[in-house]
Copies of this chain bind each other. A is one copy, B any other.
């Protein structure tokens, strides 16, 4: 049986998961693929460290170049993470024409174009299934399974930490800060937690999915990103009352030509193929299957013009789920090497003409707004007048009884309107003397 040799750089959580999975199922993979996969060298920072799965000393080196430059090693697995030495390692491997498998979403997000160009220049392959939603084969499904489709919408719950926090806030009626602190204790959130809870991890992932779905590389600076710090217990509860659940969504939506119920159409978008690519907490119908995706689980809802609606659900992170994805890339790479078809599927094909990310201001959404207002006559009239002047229709108003104190919550559900109009209206509303704190606004996604 033909053999393909692996070298691994980084032996942390995912690295030990890959080692463990190969020990457990390596023979099974060889049976299935007709290629033997052999881990030959592992570069680590320190030799002495205790690891979840102890690598045989004979595999280890502290010099990543020794792994990359070994002529017997065909596939380099980069599990260092970050955008520093990881980039140097990948470029060095690609330069030698080697196949690279990575789980490094941050690096792809920042330097994807450069890496793809290097791969193309040197006739090398670059695989990255593990970079998005760990155990969910979403890259393979979008790129291969749904290759015959245009993607009108992709909605992803792609950050397990945020989903864990929002799930507990919903189920326990708890406040954000308390759940976050607990999540940090339990190891579900990092310290500091910014990368996750400010939406940047989701931004990296949704940017990669958007790029694959729409055929142009999405610059992460173009992705409108909001995290979940603004979600509070009271909004979670009002959302539930109204039939919604708040989830942090990565959203990729065809934005052009979408005429809304209220006849708003952005004429600027007609000549471009505009795509909404964004990350924000949104109210989604509690009856939708995405609303039932709880705890650290991830899910991606995909609407293709041919295939219709699909959902993929699974573990988005963790040692083993990510290792499973890394090894699926290794398997593809091994089959391609076996068949002398090294770049059968190029890392990225930029084929879309005139496609671009539509600025958030031009996106039309529905909205949930919560104001903290003085309980006196005339406040609602003033708020309503500002929305009316901005041509934003109000679909419902809730002012619950029984709130004591100087101010009361006023919740408004608003019809489709461009984000620019909403932004300006909220700026005006926040200046009203009767409005006691900054307005809270979340978008409402019907997922239809």
Contact = CB atoms under 8 A, between A and B. Distances in A.
Interface of A: 17, 21-22, 24-25, 28-29, 31-34, 129, 135-137, 140-141, 143-150, 215, 289, 292, 304-315, 318, 320-321, 323-325, 327-328, 331-332, 335-336, 339-341, 344-346, 349, 351-352
Contacts of A129: 145
Given A24-B306, A308-B314, 5 more contacts: A24-B305, A135-B307, A140-B141, A307-B321, A344-B344
Given A140-B141, A315-B307, A341-B340, A327 B147 contact: yes
Given A313-B313, A331-B144, A324 B306 contact: yes
Q: Report copies per complex.
A: 2
Contact of A32 (B147, B305, B315, B324): B147
Nearest to A294: B289
13 contacts: A25-B148, A31-B215, A129-B145, A135-B310, A136-B310, A137-B140, A140-B145, A144-B331, A148-B327, A289-B313, A311-B313, A312-B313, A335-B344
A335 B144 CA distance: 11
Contacts of A137: 140-141, 144-146
Residue of A32, A145, A147 ringed by the most chain B CB atoms within 10 A: A145
Contacts of A34: 346, 349
A307 B311 contact: no
Q: 10 nearest interchain CB pairs?
A: A137-B145, A339-B341, A148-B327, A310-B314, A31-B351, A307-B324, A311-B313, A135-B307, A341-B341, A306-B324
Contacts of A29: 147-148
Contacts of A32: 143, 147, 215, 349, 351
Given A137-B141, A344-B339, A150 B25 contact: yes
A148 B314 contact: no
A147 B346 CA distance: 21
B324 A314 contact: no
A318 B320 CA distance: 36
Given A140-B144, A310-B136, A305 B349 contact: no
A25 B310 CA distance: 19
A307 B17 CA distance: 10
A147 B307 contact: no
B315 A309 contact: yes
Contacts of A292: 289, 292
A306 B327 CA distance: 10
Contacts of A331: 144, 147-148
Contacts of A149: 25, 324
Contact of A313 (B24, B147, B148, B310): B310
Contact of A148 (B141, B315, B324, B340): B324
Contacts of A314: 307-311
A255 to B, nearest CB: 18
A289 B291 CA distance: 11
Contacts of A143: 32
A308 B135 CA distance: 8
Residue of A32, A129, A147, A344 ringed by the most chain B CB atoms within 10 A: A147
A216 B308 CA distance: 32
Contacts of A21: 148, 306
A143 to B, nearest CB: 8
Nearest to A341: B339
Contacts of A135: 304, 307-308, 310
A335 B328 contact: no
B306 A148 contact: no
Contacts of A304: 135, 324
Contacts of A315: 307-310
Given A150-B25, A311-B313, A314-B311, A144 B341 contact: no
Given A311-B311, A349-B34, A305 B25 contact: yes
Contacts of A136: 310
A341 B28 CA distance: 23
A215 B141 CA distance: 22
A335 B345 contact: yes
